[in-house]
Structure 1
């Protein structure tokens, strides 16, 4: 799956079963994170319409309303489709 981070325009791919956070790290992109298990909400970001994820844990630290509004937790979210995410704090560590 292809993932695009806005507003920086960073793009990377995620392998099947790989979380958004792990795919970003493998691509040299630093995203906000802390617990890495879906509870602290440090990585919480908004997914643009049309994207879909599944979670590596049964119930991540999001309210049902937040999920409906497009909020996700990249540390435990595995993409099911190409994604466009709004993460202003994302940093390209490779500087490409």
Structure 2
């Protein structure tokens, strides 16, 4: 299998502004944002406080916990908690106001 078929990271873009970072498959999206010098709000880092909430404009994430602190409607509308979300593709994350 080539690295193109099995990447180590994807690209995460932040909107507005278009800043891009490497989003590593083996770590939560929030850590990748911080390593890429993106100033993203956070607090609990376990999916309960919702400080880091954002909306996926494009892409997919997965969770390693059964149910992060999001309602079914929020998940349907593309909201994610980057502190516990792992990238599954290139993505664009929209900041909440």
The bucket for the TM-score relative to the shorter chain is 0.7 to 0.9
Which of the two has higher C-alpha Rg? 2
- Scaled by the length of structure 1, the TM-score of the pair is 0.85
Q: Contact (CA 8 Å) 1:39, 1:60: kept in 2 or not? A: yes
Specify which of 25, 28, 44 is matched with residue 34 of structure 2: 25
- The aligned runs of 1:1-20 (5 Å cut-off) are 1-20=10-29
d(CA) in 2 for partners of 1:88 and 1:55?
A: 20
Name the residue aligned to 2:84. 76
The structure with higher relative contact order (CA 8 Å, sep 6+) is: 1
1:38 aligns with 2:47: yes
Structure 2: runs of 5+ lacking an equivalent: 1-9
The CA RMSD over aligned residues, in Å, is 1.3
Q: Shift of residue 56 of structure 1?
A: 2.7
Q: Deviations over 1:7-26 (max 9, x none)?
A: 11110011222111000111
- Runs (4+) off by over 4 Å: none
Q: TM-score, normalised by structure 2?
A: 0.84
